[in-house]
Chains A and B, each alone.
Chain A
């Protein structure tokens, strides 16, 4: 079964450093998303992306965050200057037009120290 692939599975970084989280969505999907989940809390929306541009972003997705689809397969989330409160599990998701459910990747656990 097709799956969304995320790398790395775990990233430890120092406060103030830049990180790039990588995702390979399912190949025939056109809509891409990033969500995050702080340990024990609910899944929070960060950004949605379609046709090479951001469709919608949340208040969390401030100027420190950016997304990019550098080629036909990868979808990345960059955090320019990480803060301690950015520590969370980051999930990438994708779906097709008209599809009700999202397919989520297995996530990247980001730890900022």
Chain B
């Protein structure tokens, strides 16, 4: 099976940088995705890493290291609207018809 672990909560200051980590145990997967979910809202796709390294999309970057079974989402120039839950997710080779979500990290931004 697959498991993805994330810190349950992270707090950061507006304008700062924050990193949300995801460690996983899976036998093999196509790539690591990140989703954002505001309270009461739907998960929204943010980024995808198929290969090791850094992918940058505006203020958000995502990193993957398959050798370390580890990835992270980096948010820069934090804004109050970034307060949300963030989930990493994988699509495993063994069950390619779905993505499995991590436990989620609730990010709180303070002024």
Can you report 20 A-B residue pairs in the complex whose CB atoms are below 8 A from each other?
A31-B97, A33-B98, A42-B101, A42-B104, A43-B35, A43-B37, A43-B43, A43-B101, A45-B99, A48-B98, A91-B43, A100-B45, A101-B35, A104-B42, A104-B43, A104-B44, A105-B42, A106-B41, A107-B41, A107-B42
Residues of chain A with a CB closer than 8 A to B42's CB:
91, 104-107
Those 3 A-B pairs whose CB atoms lie nearest each other, nearest first: A101-B45, A55-B97, A100-B48
* Chain A: minimal CB distance from B89 (Å): 8
> For the side of the interface on B, what is the size category?
20 to 34
Taking the complex as formed, is B100 at the interface, i.e. its CB lies under 8 A from any CB of chain A? Answer: yes
* Chain B: minimal CB distance from A97 (Å): 12
Residues of chain B with a CB closer than 8 A to A100's CB:
31, 33, 45, 48, 50
CA of A93 to CA of B93, assembled, Å: 20
Query: Contacts A42-B103, A42-B104, A43-B87 known; A56 to B45 CB distance under 8 Å?
Result: no
* Chain B: minimal CB distance from A32 (Å): 11
For the complex, count residues of A whose C-beta is within 8 A of B: 21
